[in-house]
Amino acid sequence: MTQAPQTPNSPNNENTLTSNGGLSDILFIVFMFIVGYLLTSLYTYHPNDPGILHSGSIDEVFNKGGIAGALFADSFYYLLGYSAYLPPIIAAYIAWLIHQQACQTVFAKPYLVILPNIGFLLILVTSCGLLTIHLASANIPFPYNSGGELGLFVVKHTQSLFNQLASTILLVSLFLLGMVLLIHQSWLFLIYRAFINRNR
């Protein structure tokens, strides 16, 4: 005896949708809690707190994230400089993508997460290099390079092959490529759409 096809409102479909939506909601909440904690730790960084390369008093920690937040902020500023704010912000964007597309869709099409992560890495690496090149002498609130150790590494290897101008052009081009992979949109399309909307 053949079974009647399930309608969109059948109980099995409702359970599947509820399960997928619930998992997406849980992941989104967890991601946003982590993002909020990391941003708070970075924003309330204090040079007198304990760090990975220096000691500080644990009796009075100024960082709102506690000792763990102080160590995290110091580590990220050391490695990434001002670009330390990018991982939490882009993690929030990827969490939003997962929430919008549902877990089942993401697992069925892993490129929906892989490509944005590749784009994120390109943005992170190139932004550190650009900050090191153009904000090396800036007055920064932490005792490290404006682009972190990653920025120093990138500049060392790009400027060993190119001059400062060519290195900047290369890094900006890779940064834009990372943005395309992250947002799944062509820059030419975004410019065209902005131009059309402006002339309406």
Q: What does the pLDDT look like over 153-182, one tens digit per residue?
A: 999 999 889 999 999 999 999 999 998 888
Assign residue 184 a region (left: φ > 0; alpha: ψ between -120 and 50; beta: otherwise): left
Q: What does the pLDDT look like over 82-139, one tens digit per residue?
A: 999 998 988 787 777 777 765 556 556 666 678 878 888 999 999 999 999 998 766 7
What separation in angstroms does the CA of 108 have from each of 61, 67, 112, 116, 183?
45, 40, 9, 16, 19
Assign 1 a pLDDT band (cuts: 50, 70, 90): very low
pTM given for the model: 0.75
C-alpha–C-alpha distance, residues 143 and 96, integer Å: 33
Question: What mean pLDDT is predicted for residues 28-34?
Answer: 87
> What letter would DSSP give residue 5?
P
